[in-house]
Amino acid sequence: MPPREGVYGLLAEFNTPSELVHATEMAHRAGYRRMECYTPYPVEEAAEALRFHKTRVPLMCLLGGVMGLTTGFLLEMWINVWGYPLNIRATPLFSWPAFVIPEYELTILFAGLSTAFGMIAQNGLPQLYHPLFNAPNFASGATTDKFFLCLEANDPRFDVAETRTLLESFSPVSVVEVDH
Amino acid sequence: MALEHEHNGAELAHGGHGHHGPNVLPSVLTAPEVVKTWRVRAAIVAVVFALLSLALLAVPGGATHLVRAYLAGYMMCFNLVGGALAFLMVQYVSGGKWGLVLRRPLEAMTRTIPLVLLLTIPLLLLMKQLYLWAAYTTKAATLDAYHQGLITNEQHLDIDFRHVMLNPGAAIFQACVVLGFMTLLITLLNRWSVLRDKDETAGTVGSFDKWRVRFENVSGPSIVLYVILMTDFVIVFVKSLDIIWASSVYGLQFLVAQGYGALAVGILSLILLSRYEPMKTLFRTTEQHDLGKLAFAFTMLNIYLTFAEFLIIWSGNIPDELTYYAHRIQGGWWTICTLDVICHWVIPFCLLLSRDIKRSKHKLIWVAVVMICARFIDLFWLIEPSWNKDGDTLHLIGNFGLLAYITVPVTLVAIWAVYYLTELGKRPLLNVNDPHTEELLEPEHAH
């Protein structure tokens, strides 16, 4: 694959999370969707402004849990009723109370694993290169005390001049054009 | 939910510039006037259901069931007060903003202890009709009852064996100790809570630390003592309905059930109060989410203990222990048992899994209502089958006496609610002299 060239996006730097959240919300209202916030610590409001909470990870967790439950039930059923039907204490072969614990364990196991792997599958990690590190202020500030909003060039509304004007209207510390 | 997010977004954007400063502490912190309306409604429910209960006296078997249902209603009130007390102490020890926002409703719940004390008197007077150990108090009496075929041999031997703990005098003594301890603790915690707000150095780190340490020192050891004493209380007044059966997890089950019920009432109160100031400002979605998570934990813990007890007894397969469950599962009781599991666990569990439901006021409120209803069903399932004999079946049709299990507990809980709401109106809804107060006023998720 040939290396991607051109503008990755416009990166605005803010000093406070409040300014970042406000800018994000306004950019969302202006119709931008391909955008991302970068903060040194989790800022829930930024996630909300990005409408970020609707991920598929909870669904993955639920499906994993249901699969674990079903697996546990079928496993126990097969062992006790069909595979190795040993009647040791004169209870019916299908004694569901005894199945509950393995079912529970497998529910937790499958839910946990599917959450972890589902999250990794969806969040794009591991990522060895990210264009934003081309911006010098990002590399030094994103993990310490600066708050960044990046409006990405692949957004249909993106236009270098217009987007820059929009970002500058939020009085950021700086707006930097980031290349791929 | 997408709509709600839009809504949140709109709110965020509205205040636009520099809106992210803290909220202002509402000038009036007392409960809104509407609490008085709720109190009147609760009083109406109490009167209507009390009249219905009286009408049941005319039904065959009505009087007997009224007495048993009285125990269920009494335990509902006791559990709410006990659960609130336990929660109050836990939040003092653990800290946290959820604890501060829930503190005053919990305090109001605990201050209903005089009602529980009052309700204990009829319970003690009715002892003979409820407990075999109160009906037959001497060895000669149990032997005589056995010879007359009124009790089985196991019951006869067990009543004699447990006589030291289970006899009318001992029961009264234990009730006095347990309720006395609770009253003392409730008085102390409630008085300090007022003094804390009146502290001359209120709002300073010195004052915060002084009161935190004081509450922690009392609450920590008292939680342990309370659990032990409460276990004793429920063994005497509920478990001993079945004189033969024993379970080492019984007290803990009740403790969790108390927390479950008190938390549900707490969430219900806060959500209803949050429609008006001051709770409109103070009860944020963040704390509601926390309480929802806590309710989820209690839902799990409750089924964990209940099912563990059943599984161990089922696996053990010992007649003495199994009879307890046989009476509660066979002969039509499986319907009540299933209903109990569905309301106590399946519904709250499935609903509370969702983040959106935990954060939505008008959805979480219904979860709390289901949880409270589940407590009524659970007590019915725990208490009524104690009088089953082998081979008895549950007759719902024509057995109007069983309706007492709805009317009497609802009456008592409605009376309790009147008292609770009265107490709720007596104090500001927030314990202001607490470091978390400032945090409650911060906009949500801001750092």
Prediction ipTM score: 0.75
Interchain CB contact of B18 with A (< 8 Å): yes
pLDDT of residue A116: 94
What percent of chain B is modeled with pLDDT above 90?
64
Q: Please give, one letter per residue, the 3-state secondary structure of B104-169.
A: HHHHHHHCCHHHHHHHHHHHHHCHHHHCHHHHCCCHHHHHHHHHCCCCCHHHHHHHHHCCCCCCHH
Higher pLDDT, A68 or B316: A68
pLDDT of residue B29: 83
- What value does the mean pLDDT take over residues B77-90? 95
* Residue ranges of domains in chain A: 7-55+131-179, 57-123
Residue B395 lies in a domain: yes
- What value does the mean pLDDT take over residues A19-26? 92
pLDDT of residue B187: 95
DSSP for residue B239: G
Q: How far apart are CA B155 and CA B169, in angstroms?
A: 20
Residue B160 lies in a domain: no
Question: Would you state the structure tokens that stand for residue B165, as one six-digit string?
Answer: 């703990």
Q: Do A43 and B447 touch (CB under 8 A)?
A: yes
Chain B nearest C-alpha distance from A125 (Å): 25
Q: How far apart are CA A94 and CA B23, in angstroms?
A: 59
Domain limits at B384? 35-131+166-430
Burial zone of B185 (CB within 10 Å; 0-12 exposed, 13-18 middle, 19+ buried): buried
Chain B nearest C-alpha distance from A175 (Å): 19
> A152: which strand partners?
A9
Angle separating helix axes B168-198 and B205-237, nearest 10 degrees: 160
Task: Decide if pLDDT at B444 tops 80.
Answer: no
Residue B142 lies in a domain: no
Q: How far apart are CA A86 and CA A72, in angstroms?
A: 19
- What value does the mean pLDDT take over residues A59-88? 93
Mean pLDDT (chain B, rounded) = 89
- What value does the mean pLDDT take over residues A15-39? 92
Chain B nearest C-alpha distance from A2 (Å): 39
Residue A18 with chain B: CB contacts under 8 Å: 18-20, 446
pLDDT of residue B3: 38
Q: How far apart are CA B381 and CA B337, in angstroms?
A: 7
Task: Decide if pLDDT at B258 tops 60.
Answer: yes
Interchain CB contact of B325 with A (< 8 Å): no
Smallest CA-to-CA distance from B35 within B106, B107, B110, B105 is with B105
Q: Do A44 and B315 touch (CB under 8 A)?
A: no
**B213-221: long-range contacts, CB 8 A cutoff, minimum separation 24:** B215/B92, B215/B189, B216/B92, B216/B93, B218/B89, B218/B92, B218/B185, B218/B188, B218/B189, B219/B88, B219/B89, B219/B90, B219/B92, B219/B93, B219/B189, B220/B89, B220/B93
Residue A29 with chain B: CB contacts under 8 Å: 13
Place of tokens 């209690």: B298
Task: Decide if pLDDT at B18 tops 50.
Answer: no
- What value does the mean pLDDT take over residues B163-183? 94
Residue B156 lies in a domain: no
Task: Decide if pLDDT at A174 tops 50.
Answer: yes
- What value does the mean pLDDT take over residues A85-100? 87
Q: How many domains does chain B have?
A: 1
Chain centroid to Cα B18, Å, comes to: 44
Angle separating helix axes B97-110 and B285-316, nearest 10 degrees: 70
pLDDT of residue B320: 83
CATH number of A7-55+131-179: 3.30.70
Residue A53 — pLDDT band, cuts 50, 70, 90?
low
Residue B14 — pLDDT band, cuts 50, 70, 90?
very low
Nearest to A18 among B310, B311, B446 (CB): B446
Write the pLDDT tens digit of every residue in B355-393.
Answer: 889 999 999 999 999 999 999 999 999 998 888 876 677
Residue B445 — pLDDT band, cuts 50, 70, 90?
low
Residue B221 lies in a domain: yes
Phi then psi for residue B32, to 5 deg, are -65, 160
pLDDT of residue B76: 95
What is the number of other CB atoms lying within 10 angstroms of the CB of residue A17?
21
Question: Would you state the structure tokens that stand for residue A101, as one six-digit string?
Answer: 């614990």
Task: Decide if pLDDT at B436 tops 80.
Answer: yes
Tell me the pTM: 0.85
User: Are B189 and B91 a contacting pair, CB within 8 Å?
Assistant: no
What Rg value do the Cα atoms of chain B yield, rounded? 23
Asked whether the bond before B428 is cis by omega within 30 degrees of 0, the reply is no
pLDDT of residue B7: 40
Interchain CB contact of B206 with A (< 8 Å): no
Q: Do B2 and A18 touch (CB under 8 A)?
A: no
Place of tokens 């209207």: A169
Interface test with B, best of A18, A41, A57 (most B CBs within 10 A): A18
Residue A17 with chain B: CB contacts under 8 Å: 20, 446-447
Q: Which amino acid is at B340?
A: D
Smallest CA-to-CA distance from A33 within A56, A51, A11 is with A51
Q: How far apart are CA B19 and CA B22, in angstroms?
A: 8
Burial zone of B166 (CB within 10 Å; 0-12 exposed, 13-18 middle, 19+ buried): buried
Q: Do B12 and A48 touch (CB under 8 A)?
A: yes
Instruction: Tell me how far CA of residue B136 lies from CA of B37, B128, B148, B236, B343, in angstroms.
Output: 48, 8, 13, 15, 37
User: Are A27 and A166 a contacting pair, CB within 8 Å?
Assistant: yes
Smallest CA-to-CA distance from B215 within B190, B243, B234, B239 is with B190
